[in-house]
Chain A
Amino acid sequence: GQQLNQSPQSMFIQEGEDVSMNCTSSSIFNTWLWYKQDPGEGPVLLIALYKAGELTSNGRLTAQFGITRKDSFLNISASIPSDVGIYFCAGRGGAQKLVFGQGTRLTINP
C-alpha cells in the first residue's frame, strides 16, 4: 500500500524564522494536501495540490507538488506564535484512499 514519510518529526525555532518540511511517498501520488492541527482540534486544510510541479501559496505558507510526484514540500515564512501546531501531509494516488504522514510538530520560541 501507499506509505508516506514526513520529516522532520519536530522542529524548535525562533519566532521570525522560516520553516521547511517535506513528505515523500513510496508511490506516485496525484493529490497532495497539507493540514494543520491545533491542540484539541481536528486537522484543518491549508493547501491542496493537484498537479506535478504546482506551487501554491496561502499567505505565508507555500507548498509544492514535486516533479517526480513522489514528494511535496511546505514552507512557512517569518514564523509567528500562532503557527505552533502539528502539520500533516496527506496524499492519494489513483483510486487509493487518502494516506497521512506522521506529522511535524512545530514549536516556536518567542
Chain B
Amino acid sequence: NAGVTQTPKFQVLKTGQSMTLQCAQDMNHEYMSWYRQDPGMGLRLIHYSVGAGITDQGEVPNGYNVSRSTTEDFPLRLLSAAPSQTSVYFCASSPEGRRASNQPQHFGDGTRLSIL
C-alpha cells in the first residue's frame, strides 16, 4: 500500500550510540516531518521539511539531525543517544509545500526506540 514507511519498527541503543531512523513516502508529498510521542504529551514536532534540500527545526530539535536529499526520504539521526530520547518516533507527510496550506498529515506506524 502507498503511504509512509518507517524502519526499523523497534530499536534498543546504549547511551552514546548513534543511529538513523528511516522514513520514506511514495505519495510525492512535499512536506515531511518527524514527531516524538511520549506518554501524556501527545505528539511533539522535532524537525520538518517543506521540500527537497530544505529543513527546519520544530519544537524539540536538540539531539537530532535531519536531511532531505530527495522528495521521498527524510531520515532522522540521533548523534549520541541519551535515555531522554527513549520514545516512539513518527514520520509524517502531506502535500503541503512552500505554499501554505492546511493539508492533514499521513503518518507512518512509528519506530519504538529505547535508550539504555
Contacts and interface: CB of A to CB of B under 8 A. Distances in A.
Interface of A: 1, 4, 6, 9, 30-31, 33, 35, 40-45, 48, 50, 88, 90, 92, 95, 97-103
Contacts, number: 51
Nearest to A47: B104
A33 B104 contact: yes
Interface in B75-116: 90, 92, 100, 102, 104-110
Contacts of B41: 102
B48 A97 contact: yes
A102 B100 contact: no
A100 B107 contact: no
Interface of B: 4, 35, 40-45, 48, 58-59, 90, 92, 100, 102, 104-110
A42 B90 contact: yes
A32 to B, nearest CB: 10
A50 B41 CA distance: 25
B40 A102 contact: yes
14 contacts: A6-B42, A30-B102, A40-B109, A41-B110, A42-B109, A43-B43, A45-B105, A45-B106, A90-B104, A97-B58, A97-B59, A98-B45, A100-B35, A102-B42
Given A88-B43, A103-B42, A43 B90 contact: yes
